[in-house]
Amino acid sequence: MEPRAHLLGLGLACALGPTLEDSLATLRSGAPSVGRVRLADLDEPLDSAYFRISDGAEPFDPTRLSHLLPPVIEAALNAARLSTSTRRMMPIFVGSSSFAIAQSEHHYAHALRHRPEHAMAMPDAGFGSVADFAARIAGSDAQTRSWHTACTSAANALLAAQRLLAAGHAQHVLVLGVELANRTSLGGFQALQLLADAVRPFDARRAGIVLGEGIGAIVMGRARGNSPWHLADGATNSDLHGVTGAHPEGRVLAAVQQQALQRAGCRAADVRAIKAHATGTPANDTAEARAMHALFLPKLPPLCTLKPWLGHTLGACGVVELALFAAALRDGFIPATPAGTQPDPALDVHPLTSVLPARPGSYLLNQFGFGGNNTSLVLEVD
């Protein structure tokens, strides 16, 4: 049998709940819960809508990763039923936009308050601390790699893990998507004037993104076990139109979806549903809509958007959204977009407004990022 990248264990903490099960229950029958976060120490304080993991901590508390990451990883590892020796040989791949930047911000702010003459910006530079911490939690002594390709980071980590497994270079890989509140992301997206008060993908009123926190963990393995899903394949490409946005005609976005389907041995007509990137920005949704129409003529498959539930978890969204979407399919439903949509007639894209029964088959997941980085994944449900 052809080696596959089976999803053996999932773990999640996000704005919908502290566990995957809690998140699924809210996704099926609850309502999204968006809060707010402030950058109060700016000359012009920023107060923004924000999807937080509800843990009772201060939003920029640098120790949050240390208590939020372990239970997510343990949930995924326990579901995968990996032995200690298997864990030790399991590579760990991480995707994130911000990694441990909140810790660096905290240490710099502390120095500015207490020893300003010695304060040094970016005192904790580098990317490896999240992967190193994850390795200690998981008991892994194998390689770690960290992807930093903006909003496709975790999706690219998943794709690399799938190829590592397919080539037989590992039996299992733990893939993480990690994004927690930090001043850099909030201030940066505010500076770009991309923040909005609500996420409204493909909606006539869409005005931008709402940031969100998420930690996702997926154990992938070559042997199927009891897994109902596998990551069939995917593709990633570059759109050279601009560093912050895809070409509005969506040709490169259509190409990456087409390549993903080809590599997975799947026809567009066979796609059961699409989990769209669907940020709710005018530019992204326009390009993604045109790309999907070009690929799926004459009619789009059912379309799911998760950012109205989670916010935009940036570099983590590839793993966070795959974990939630796959779990929903396992539980028999394709998630709906929260009520109150007004589809933009110019886009002619209509996200599901009520859940649909999920059936076996192929599901396409899109992730697009700054730097012209686009990644599409194909999930097969047996």
Cβ closest to another protein, residue 240 vs residue 297: 240
Q: How far is the CB of 182 from another protein (least distance, A)?
A: 10
Cβ closest to another protein, residue 156 vs residue 362: 156
Q: How far is the CB of 144 from another protein (least distance, A)?
A: 7
**What angle do the packed helices 317-330 and 153-166 form, to 10 degrees?**
70
Cβ closest to another protein, residue 23 vs residue 376: 376
Cβ closest to another protein, residue 76 vs residue 260: 260
Q: How far is the CB of 326 from another protein (least distance, A)?
A: 23
Q: How far is the CB of 91 from another protein (least distance, A)?
A: 9
Q: How far is the CB of 233 from another protein (least distance, A)?
A: 9
Cβ closest to another protein, residue 149 vs residue 305: 149
Cβ closest to another protein, residue 243 vs residue 346: 243
Q: How far is the CB of 12 from another protein (least distance, A)?
A: 24
**AA letter at 135:** A
Cβ closest to another protein, residue 184 vs residue 342: 184
Site residues for another protein per CB under 8 A? 39, 41-44, 46, 89, 97, 99, 101, 104-105, 108-109, 112, 119-123, 125-128, 131, 142-150, 152-153, 156, 160, 163-164, 166-167, 169, 183-184, 187-192, 235-240, 243-244, 252, 263, 369-373
Cβ closest to another protein, residue 98 vs residue 227: 98
Q: How far is the CB of 374 from another protein (least distance, A)?
A: 9
Q: How far is the CB of 126 from another protein (least distance, A)?
A: 6
